């Protein structure tokens, strides 16, 4: 064995060790970058600020009854803050806003028996923004809604001409 080969063999573990360290160093910034990426992911989960701004404007309509903080009016207008209808399945809330509601409904443990007019005359994107705003305001945290979501529920419920009762809403196919 030549001196050169012997030297190479003797150095090999150090070379591999160094290479291992090198790749270790390369891998390290990734876990280190994760804590920085986590808030970014959380932000991308949050609704688009432009959509929230449009939704806040759209909410002016709803605010007349459901009030500035979504707290509603006891005995008359149910709250949107903490409401399972506002934070539950997006399609169900879309359907309520498109066609309105009537009859007894229990929200946050209180029963209301009133009528909400339909808002289906408004455009898909305006409704989507307003619904997204409600689902992510007043302490609510729920999935954003797109204009395509509104369009899909609008199409699936197109034959509907009256406000929903809770029972009808539960039985309906919304997509």
Out of 78, 90, 145, 157, the residue judged to bind ligand HEC by CB under 6 A: 78
103 contributes a contact to ligand HEC by CB under 6 A: yes
Out of 51, 54, 86, 94, the residue judged to bind ligand HEC by CB under 6 A: 86
Whole-number Å distance between alpha carbons of 66 and 74? 10
- Residues paired with residue 112 on neighbouring β-strands, in sequence order: 105
Neighbours of 157 (CB within 10 A): 20
Nearer of residues 20 and 89 to ligand HEC, judged by Cβ: 89
Q: What is the DSSP letter of 72?
A: -
Out of 105, 129, 150, 153, the residue judged to bind ligand HEC by CB under 6 A: 105
Helices (H), 28-121: 29-45, 49-66, 84-87, 90-99
Out of 54, 79, 91, 132, the residue judged to bind ligand HEC by CB under 6 A: 79
The interface region with ligand HEC, picked from 5-13, 23-31, 115-123, 135-143 by CB under 6 A, is: 115-123
Under 8 Å between Cβ of 78 and 105: yes
Under 8 Å between Cβ of 98 and 118: yes
Rule CB under 6 A: which residues touch ligand HEC? 61-62, 64-66, 77-80, 83, 85-86, 93, 96-97, 101-103, 105, 107, 112-117, 119, 130-131, 134
């Amino acid at each position: 064995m030549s001196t050169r080969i012997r030297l190479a063999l003797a150095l090999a573990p150090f070379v591999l060790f160094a290479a291992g360290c090198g790749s270790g160093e390369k891998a390290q910034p990734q876990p280190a970058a994760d804590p920085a990426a986590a808030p970014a992911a959380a932000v991308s989960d949050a609704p688009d600020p432009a959509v929230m701004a449009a939704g806040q404007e759209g909410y002016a309509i709803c605010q007349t009854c459901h009030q500035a903080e979504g707290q509603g009016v006891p005995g008359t207008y149910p709250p949107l803050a903490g409401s399972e209808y506002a934070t539950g399945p997006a399609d169900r809330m879309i359907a309520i806003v498109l066609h309105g509601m009537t009859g007894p409904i229990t929200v946050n443990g209180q029963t209301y028996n009133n009528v909400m007019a339909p808002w289906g005359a408004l455009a898909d994107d305006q409704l989507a923004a307003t619904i997204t705003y409600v689902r992510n305001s007043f302490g609510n945290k729920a999935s954003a809604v797109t204009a395509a979501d509104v369009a899909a529920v609008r199409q699936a419920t197109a034959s509907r001409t009256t406000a929903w009762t809770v029972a009808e809403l539960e039985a309906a196919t919304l997509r």
